[in-house]
Amino acid sequence: MQAIAARRVVSAIFFMCGTFIGLWASRIPDIKAATGLNESGFGLLLLVMACGAFTAFPFTGAWVDRLGAAPVAKFLAVATVISFLLVGIALNIPVLTIALFLAGLSFGGLDVSMNGWGAEVEAGLGRPVMSSFHGLYSLGAGLAAAAGGFAIEIGLTVSEHFSYWTLLSAPFLVWFYRQAWPRADTEAKNRRKAPLFAMPKGALVFVGLMALVAALGEGAVTDWAALYQIADLGYADSIAPTAFTVFSVAMVIMRLAGDQVIARFGPVPVARMSGVVALLGCLLFVSGVNIWAVWAGCFIMGLGYAVIFPLAMSRAAGDPHMSKGVALASVATLGYGAFLLGPPLLGFIGDFLSLRASFAVVALLTLALPFLAGALRVKV
């Protein structure tokens, strides 16, 4: 029963974490316009956020092993809400730079710790549930992005939008802090010897690369899909967030169904087929034939990328050769690092070539997913 109750708690934190991304994605064009920066300059600001996340990953992995995933996730949830509020109310580029670093720091750490808690719940239940956690993350992102489009329509400023979101998050944080969960891994060796920094080893290298490709695709749609439609395709600002919303809906559908699909067919076949589907979606999105083709491409991309990252995190948490926290942090360094570091690099490509060229690079990298899928097998 405790694992069932904890599943609800972890589901809620994944949902709330997703709203951070949807909130951010919906207002990127406005924030970029307020800074007056071009794609390369704004890409540097995104790089600051990535640096914050890279700083957090190794520390969080060690803290999860020493303190437990639940208490670390509780602390970082509060820190993430505060840091995103600072992003919304930042008055100039220097303040925004600091706020983005703090947002990357807290958000990156929260992602590692909540996946660690999710893996503990998955082990307690004895069946796959990680995909559904990530499905609720995508649901939160999609709903927040849709709300962002509405906020733009009614004329809310970025600071007003982010402030209202913070007020809505506050009651959840109080409830979240009151939830209890025992340590799933109390081995003394983990508390004493968990290293501060580790890169993936053996098969986890390829698992991390899978997470990298999937996270890069998700990050590209999050940060650049709206601008791609506005700058490259000439669509209106008000409908540009729809692409991310469509992408998130597809992610939700596939991730919520993913646990049953994975249980029936196994992680490797599911990952291989997912890679093929994601590639088809990328190609349709890059074609930019019309708005319907773009949105259809986003939907197919969402279906394809949906279960790759949950599979990678479950595989990392169950690795027989590394402690859970360090394994999760090492895969997150590649996966979430790509989610945060990839979009700035794609921005540089977009500045020198076009955002269409940036998404073509994403499509090219997606080709690797079917070939990397075999790494998801656990070999003791």
Over residues 282-307, the pLDDT tens digits come to 999 988 778 888 899 999 999 999 99
If DSSP codes are grouped into helix, strand and coil, which group holds residue 28? helix
CA distance 101 to 259: 34
Task: Compute the distance between CA of residue 142 and CA of residue 140 in angstroms, rounded to an integer.
Answer: 6
Q: Is residue 60 exposed (0-12), middle (13-18) or buried (19+ Cβ within 10 Å)?
A: buried
- Among residues 123, 148, 121, the alpha carbon closest in space to that of 20 is found at 148
CA dist., res. 264 & res. 273, Å (int): 14
Whether 344 contacts 47, CB under 8 Å: yes
Low-confidence ranges of the chain (pLDDT < 70): 1, 180-201, 336-337, 339-341, 378-380
Cα separation of 116 and 331, whole Å? Answer: 12
The per-residue pLDDT of the chain, averaged, comes to 83
Q: Closest Cα partner for 216 from 113, 33, 344, 56?
A: 344
Rounded Cα distance, 121 and 128, in Å: 10
Provide the CATH number for the domain formed by 2-376 in this structure: 1.20.1250.20
Domain ranges of the chain: 2-376
Distance CA 249, CA 267 (A): 22
Residue whose token pair is 């949105």? 295
The Cα–Cα gap between 262 and 283 comes to: 26
pLDDT at position 187, please?
44
pLDDT of residue 307: 92
pTM (two decimals): 0.77
Please name the residues in contact with 323: beta carbons below 8 A apart, sequence gap of 6 or more.
65, 185, 190, 194
Q: In terms of Cα–Cα distance, which of 225, 228, 232, 203 is closest to 301?
A: 225
Here the tokens at position 170 are 């506050």
Q: What is the pLDDT of residues 135-168, one digit of tens each?
A: 898 888 878 888 888 888 888 898 999 999 989 8
Q: Given phi > 0 = left and psi -120 to 50 = alpha, else beta, which region is 202?
A: left
> What is the model's pLDDT at position 190?
47
